[in-house]
Structure 1
Amino acid sequence: MHDIAIKIALIGAAGIAAQWLAWRLQLPAIVLLLIAGFIAGPATGFITPAADFGEIYRPLVSLAVAIILFEGGLSLNFREIRETSKAVRRIIILAGPMVWAMTAVSAHVIGGLSWPTAIVLGAVLVVTGPTVIIPLLRQAQLNSRPASILRWEAIVNDPIGALFAVLSFEVILVVFGRHQVDNLLALVTIGMVIAVGGGLAAAKAIEWAFARGHVPEYLKAPVLFASVLGAYALTNLALEEAGLLTVTIMGVALANTRITSLTDMRRFKETITTLLVSGVFIILTASLTPADIVSLDWRAALFVASLLVVIRPVAIMIATIGAGLTMQERLLTAWIAPRGVVAVAVSGLFGTLLLDAGVEDAGRMTAFAFAVVVTTIVLHGFTLGPLAAFLKLKQDSKPGILIVGGSRWSTTLARKLKEIEVPVMLADPNWNHLTEARLASIPVYFGEVLSEQAHHAIDPKRFANLIAASDNEAYNALVCTDFGPELGRSNVFQIGRSEDTGRQSINFTLGGRPLALPGAGFHELRERLLSGWTFQITRLTDEFNWDTYQQTRADNAMIMFWIKPSGAIIFASVSGSKPQANDRVLSFALPRDEARIEAIRAANAAGGIAGTSEAHGPADPNLSSTTASDRDSNR
């Protein structure tokens, strides 16, 4: 018992360590999970899942896969698929069966597998695992359309591939005389009706219960979690593995409801899914035996090559003719199709069932599936980013800033950021507040930034930081609280907030970090701008360093952030370090006192200190003088 506890703890620790290293080293997380599982299993023999966990091994893996698919379904909103729905439909309806048929032929002719094993393997390899695609998309920063296609295909195809495998297996049993044809048709029909109807009914029941207040807030996530497991298990009683379709439909249906607390539950499910993906992938990799590895010969290698460079590209290129995609998007989709947890889990399940049915080489199916999984994870994991960049399907890798609040101060800041080529967007629900920004060709979002529509229209991955700068401090805090989990709480900032922790201050768990120290509120920033303050950008050098730079600033100058040569943005209010040479410092202050700077240069001349390299636009004359009505304006 203690040994099992240690092994479970090791699996959890290794999984999260692999995820952290992947984030730190900017590597595909699945590759590191694969290495961890190989070391824990085939290399050392420390973990042997089938022996360690016994009869509960397969059911636990299946339940984990069900939760992963449900969480994936929660990320599929119909608004996102509007411009890619035709392509996704064709990939699933046309390309899926083509991949199944061609893979089965290749597995038999090239791989040397028997027809029963080849047909089931072809069905299994239709899937393009979300457990692999989603982490890859998180790191690759693709444009929204190709990312949407790959994500939708991966999540929808997983249960469909499992159902193809079920159908293949049942047909094989009919051929072997184990089942009757009429029984098979009835079984599949009933199973599909229960799977689809059950998923929709479960989602509707949850929506009704949550909307009517029949479930308290603290129980919503646990109730959802238990409902997924129950729906999966009950559907499987009618048709093996049809539960995967049930939970996927359930997730998609819930994602398109108006449950107000769904966002919080989705974050909970994402946490659970990260743990499950890490643990399940290590367990499945560890289950691979040395005998399985030895069974992979040159014919298996040729089979994998045919799947990657012939079968998938041909199926996708045919299916997407006239689907409204560019050639670059079709090429990327044709190449990227990594397999993951579901392929290994389902192949292991049906390999065992086929062995029981008398198919002698069924045990090789798991080894072939694992060869495909390993190859696609490594190749696609390391080529997605470079290929997307080559095909110009990658988002701007520079971290940008989303500014909420279209005041004159915000617009002036956005104009300066655009001038120095920092990606920026200005968001405000008042169209008039965005007039100056639109005239300056600054990207804008007109609407409520807290709305569901905004979360689909504004890609959080493009903006590494947020500045809430409206004239309502409570609203600024709400915006930062809402975007904190997506961008990271250390990357959301608001004006007017200080580090004061007195009785009147907002709790540190709410709102954002102060934009600058000392903090200045909306009206103070507006008055400073109207009195001639400007945004100034200064590049530091080895000679004109941070200490010298500070001497040239007025005492009340606001140092906001500095930009590293890599493009990373470091905010002064939260950084414990100093800007270095080649960093560009952005400040908000009165125009420079040139006489004072010359005096400092002269005083330091004996030490060899050179001049500055500073660039800033002159103060807008329209902003330096105002009328009484301007000063009374909320803007």
Structure 2
Amino acid sequence: MEESIAAGGLDPISAFALVGAIGVGAQWLAWRLRMPAIVLMLVAGILIGPVSGIFDPDRDIGPLYEPMISLAVAVILFEGGLTLSLNTLRDAAEGVKRLVFIGAPLGWLLSALALHYAAGLGWESSAVLGGIMIVTGPTVIAPLLRTSRLARRPAALLQWEAIVNDPLGALAAIAAFEVIVVLRTATDWGGAFFELATGGLVAVVLGAVGGYGLSWALRRAKVPEYMKVPVLFVVILAVFAASDAVLHESGLLAVTIMGIVLANANLPSYEEMRRFKEHATILLVSGVFILLAASVDFTALGQLNWRAAVFVAAVVLLARPLTVYGALASTKLPWKERTLIAFTAPRGVVLVAVAGLFGERLMALGIDDAVLIGPLAFVLVAVTVIIHGFTLAPVARALGLTAAETPGVLIVGGSRLTVALAEALKENKVPVLLTDPNRTSLRAAREAGIPTFFGDILSEAAEHRVEILNYRTALAATNNDAYNTLVATDLAPEFGREFVYQTAREKAEHVRHALPASLGGRPFGDKSTYNMLNQRMWQGWEFRVTGLTDEFTLTRYRDQRPEAVIMAQITKDGQFQFVTDDEELRVPAGASVVALIPPAELEKIDAPRKGGGQGEPTGGGPGPTSTAKPAAALPK
């Protein structure tokens, strides 16, 4: 170890620790800065690699480098296959199907043409990299959509295109690569075709057998709960290795097929696999990208010339728009949405990882220009991520394709309490959606003009019909504590646990009967239960939104309304946030507080206005404090 450090290198353990810390750290920092993680990982990998020389994968990891990349890419492609539900695709919009069935082959062709004529690559390298370029980066699209706040339809088209084309792009690249391998190693065309057909058939069979076998074992409870994820991981590696032994790199096809089979098996254990793929993808994507960025050879980048710039311009300005306009021709999609989709195609980690792997494999076959595949992939990813990361939101606003400017509140459960809260928020221009699986519970909300969704918020219908990107905060407030806990737990990964709330649970007679404290969301309001809060509503309590000024401060507000329960605050720019205690209250002048106020204090507030007096200042300009009175027709 001392000799390695003295020579300027790291021992393998230190190298692995550094890759993990830098990769996950870059992901976390990107989340804090609300920017694409791939940009920070790219910069971090290059800084610790070719710039500073702190880490060199070939030097510090040695022979483990290539097998690690291969296995990591295999797991990433399995995760891509695991997202491809045929039922979901069948129910998807016509535009998604066209972008997949027409756009993917057309994009492969146009990308290969751009690589050959603009970048100057041979047809073999162009065919492989062109196939990978079908992928538009699902790990990049998701955070971009969240920060840019697109309208539902273009956001759904971009997201589903990225998810579905993720495995298809890998399959296209694998198919092109296998054809090249067989043609270059076989002695005759008949032998080449037989070897390719045999290897492809074995890969498909192994992937299908692995997927069906694992789904059978999980469905029949042949694997205990605590071993499901380890068994899944081992089966992935076994299928990959077995297929690869028959035909080189066919293991990538096998694990992708296996993921697709499991995605469509309707397993009760799918949630465990979903968590596995989320956690594994974050770790492996981070690790693979740091390794690839650290191994970038500046001499290889130096081989790029003006043709690289022409290639990127051809992809962004010609290949992608022609693909989208061609795929969506004769559809009813408005031209603005087609234009936005046509000029939005950020590439991501999968492109770089798979391109780097196949670039090395093609070079090993004696294809000299394959040395440019890795650098071209890096350049394309960097340029598209930066361009779309900084221009998607402004372009969408210019085209009028953004969702609500102010992040809203999703309220689960229709009741006297939630309808009154929703009315108060709506009056103050905070977007709100009220959902309930009971249509009768939504009657009062519909009569009040509040947007509603009839159905279970956890259902597949809600996934397709509810514009989740429009809402930053969720509140579960039904009369069922267990359901509230389930909803809050399920929505936490989507919204972030700090933005998911629920009404306090009823106290169980015995601690062992209580729901685990680790489940559910944050407490709502003053930690009152659903029944306590609704009882207040029947007693005449009302929600009021009051603006604060330099004169009418929070302290004065508290003095005048000592019994009021402050539930939330609205900032000057309309940002909404629930509060659970006074420590969270930081309400400057110009902001507003949302409070539940008892009848006695309401009389004092309304008395001056009834008598023709001035009333309290509201901080939001002249006029009375906004109010939301529950209607008598509201159900209990």
Shorter-chain TM band: 0.7 to 0.9
Aligned match for 2:625, one of 610, 615, 627: 615
In structure 2, the CA distance between the partners of 1:596 and 1:131, relative to structure 1 (3 Å rule), is: closer
Q: Where does structure 1 lack aligned partners over 5 or more consecutive residues?
A: 601-608, 624-629
Distance 1:594 1:415 in 2: 17
Aligned match for 1:556, one of 563, 570, 592: 563
| 1:462-512: CA deviation from partner (whole Å, max 9, x where unpaired) | 332222222233433333233333333333322244999995865421333
In structure 2, the CA distance between the partners of 1:166 and 1:216, relative to structure 1 (3 Å rule), is: closer
| 1:591-622: CA deviation from partner (whole Å, max 9, x where unpaired) | 5758866999xxxxxxxx99444522374573
Residue 224 of structure 1: how far off its partner (Å): 1.9
Aligned match for 1:512, one of 506, 517, 521: 521
**Is the Cα contact below 8 Å between 1:336 and 1:380 reproduced in 2?**
yes
Q: Give the letter for the 1:206 counterpart.
A: L
SS of the aligned residue for 2:23 comes to helix
In structure 2, the CA distance between the partners of 1:139 and 1:207, relative to structure 1 (3 Å rule), is: farther
**Is the Cα contact below 8 Å between 2:427 and 2:626 reproduced in 1?**
no
Distance 1:501 1:138 in 2: 43
Aligned match for 1:567, one of 571, 574, 578: 574
Residue 323 of structure 1: how far off its partner (Å): 4.1
Deviates more, 1:388-397 or 1:375-384: 388-397
In structure 2, the CA distance between the partners of 1:612 and 1:499, relative to structure 1 (3 Å rule), is: farther
Distance 1:587 1:491 in 2: 18
Q: Give the letter for the 1:617 counterpart.
A: T
Aligned residues with identical type, % of pairs: 43
Structure 1 length-normalised TM: 0.87
Residue 321 of structure 1: how far off its partner (Å): 0.9
SS of the aligned residue for 2:528 comes to coil
Q: Which residue of 1 aligns with 2:483?
A: 475
In structure 2, the CA distance between the partners of 1:144 and 1:76, relative to structure 1 (3 Å rule), is: farther
Distance 1:200 1:469 in 2: 44
Q: Which residue of 1 aligns with 2:58?
A: 50
SS of the aligned residue for 1:81 comes to helix
Q: Which residue of 1 aligns with 2:376?
A: 368
Deviates more, 1:609-618 or 1:348-357: 609-618
Q: Where does structure 2 lack aligned partners over 5 or more consecutive residues?
A: 2-9, 609-614
User: Is 2:315 the counterpart of 1:311?
Assistant: no
Distance 1:538 1:174 in 2: 73
Q: Give the letter for the 2:373 counterpart.
A: M
Distance 2:222 2:564 in 1: 54
In structure 2, the CA distance between the partners of 1:356 and 1:572, relative to structure 1 (3 Å rule), is: closer
User: Is 2:167 the counterpart of 1:132?
Assistant: no
Aligned match for 1:421, one of 429, 432, 449: 429
SS of the aligned residue for 1:6 comes to helix
Residue 531 of structure 1: how far off its partner (Å): 2.7
Deviates more, 1:430-439 or 1:258-267: 258-267
In structure 2, the CA distance between the partners of 1:156 and 1:492, relative to structure 1 (3 Å rule), is: closer
In structure 2, the CA distance between the partners of 1:328 and 1:204, relative to structure 1 (3 Å rule), is: farther
Distance 1:252 1:167 in 2: 17
Residue 85 of structure 1: how far off its partner (Å): 5.3
Q: Which residue of 2 aligns with 1:604?
A: none
Distance 1:188 1:86 in 2: 34
Deviates more, 1:37-46 or 1:146-155: 146-155
**Is the Cα contact below 8 Å between 1:100 and 1:122 reproduced in 2?**
yes
Residue 169 of structure 1: how far off its partner (Å): 4.4
Residue 528 of structure 1: how far off its partner (Å): 2.3
Distance 1:612 1:154 in 2: 47
In structure 2, the CA distance between the partners of 1:513 and 1:256, relative to structure 1 (3 Å rule), is: same
Q: Give the letter for the 1:509 counterpart.
A: S
Distance 1:49 1:188 in 2: 32
In structure 2, the CA distance between the partners of 1:83 and 1:582, relative to structure 1 (3 Å rule), is: farther
SS of the aligned residue for 1:433 comes to helix
Aligned match for 1:530, one of 532, 535, 538: 538
Distance 2:408 2:487 in 1: 17
User: Is 2:262 the counterpart of 1:254?
Assistant: yes
Aligned match for 1:267, one of 254, 275, 280: 275
Distance 2:34 2:13 in 1: 31
Distance 1:531 1:584 in 2: 25
In structure 2, the CA distance between the partners of 1:132 and 1:430, relative to structure 1 (3 Å rule), is: closer
| 1:139-188: CA deviation from partner (whole Å, max 9, x where unpaired) | 44434443343334334434444444444445556766744222333333
| 1:265-313: CA deviation from partner (whole Å, max 9, x where unpaired) | 3123212211211121111111111101211111221122112111221
Residue 552 of structure 1: how far off its partner (Å): 1.7
Residue 239 of structure 1: how far off its partner (Å): 3.9
Residue 460 of structure 1: how far off its partner (Å): 4.1
User: Is 2:335 the counterpart of 1:327?
Assistant: yes
Deviates more, 1:327-336 or 1:341-350: 341-350
Deviates more, 1:31-40 or 1:488-497: 488-497
User: Is 2:420 the counterpart of 1:403?
Assistant: no
Q: Give the letter for the 1:399 counterpart.
A: P
In the comparison of the two structures, how many residue pairs are matched? 616
In structure 2, the CA distance between the partners of 1:598 and 1:127, relative to structure 1 (3 Å rule), is: closer
**Is the Cα contact below 8 Å between 2:132 and 2:354 reproduced in 1?**
yes
RMSD: 3.3
| 1:170-223: CA deviation from partner (whole Å, max 9, x where unpaired) | 555676674422233333333444444444443332222222211111111222
User: Is 2:280 the counterpart of 1:276?
Assistant: no
**Is the Cα contact below 8 Å between 1:73 and 1:248 reproduced in 2?**
yes
Q: Give the letter for the 1:512 counterpart.
A: G
Q: Give the letter for the 1:556 counterpart.
A: E
Residue 455 of structure 1: how far off its partner (Å): 4.4
Q: Give the letter for the 2:632 counterpart.
A: N
Residue 450 of structure 1: how far off its partner (Å): 4.2
Deviates more, 1:489-498 or 1:34-43: 489-498
Residue 381 of structure 1: how far off its partner (Å): 2.5
Deviates more, 1:75-84 or 1:262-271: 75-84
Q: Give the letter for the 1:346 counterpart.
A: V
Q: Give the letter for the 1:449 counterpart.
A: I
**Is the Cα contact below 8 Å between 1:80 and 1:456 reproduced in 2?**
no
Q: Give the letter for the 2:571 counterpart.
A: K
Q: Which residue of 2 aligns with 1:627?
A: none
Q: Give the letter for the 1:494 counterpart.
A: Q
In structure 2, the CA distance between the partners of 1:486 and 1:471, relative to structure 1 (3 Å rule), is: same
Residue 422 of structure 1: how far off its partner (Å): 1.6
Q: Which residue of 2 aligns with 1:232?
A: 240
In structure 2, the CA distance between the partners of 1:444 and 1:155, relative to structure 1 (3 Å rule), is: closer
Q: Give the letter for the 1:448 counterpart.
A: D
Distance 1:595 1:344 in 2: 66
Q: Which residue of 1 aligns with 2:48?
A: 40
In structure 2, the CA distance between the partners of 1:499 and 1:546, relative to structure 1 (3 Å rule), is: farther
Distance 2:600 2:252 in 1: 65
Distance 2:533 2:495 in 1: 25
Deviates more, 1:288-297 or 1:243-252: 243-252
Q: Which residue of 2 aligns with 1:13?
A: 21
Deviates more, 1:358-367 or 1:558-567: 358-367
Q: What are the within-5 Å matches in structure 2 for residues 536-615 of structure 1?
A: 536-553=544-561, 555-574=562-581, 575-591=583-599, 593=601, 611-613=617-619, 614-615=624-625
**Is the Cα contact below 8 Å between 1:166 and 1:241 reproduced in 2?**
yes
**Is the Cα contact below 8 Å between 2:80 and 2:167 reproduced in 1?**
no
Q: Which residue of 2 aligns with 1:342?
A: 350
User: Is 2:70 the counterpart of 1:62?
Assistant: yes
Aligned match for 1:243, one of 225, 248, 251: 251
User: Is 2:384 the counterpart of 1:384?
Assistant: no
Q: Which residue of 1 aligns with 2:4?
A: none
Q: Give the letter for the 1:366 counterpart.
A: G
**Is the Cα contact below 8 Å between 1:65 and 1:341 reproduced in 2?**
no
**Is the Cα contact below 8 Å between 2:289 and 2:353 reproduced in 1?**
no
Residue 440 of structure 1: how far off its partner (Å): 2.0
Q: What are the within-5 Å matches in structure 2 for residues 171-210 of structure 1?
A: 171-172=179-180, 178-210=186-218
Q: Give the letter for the 2:425 counterpart.
A: L
Deviates more, 1:83-92 or 1:428-437: 83-92
Q: Give the letter for the 1:55 counterpart.
A: P
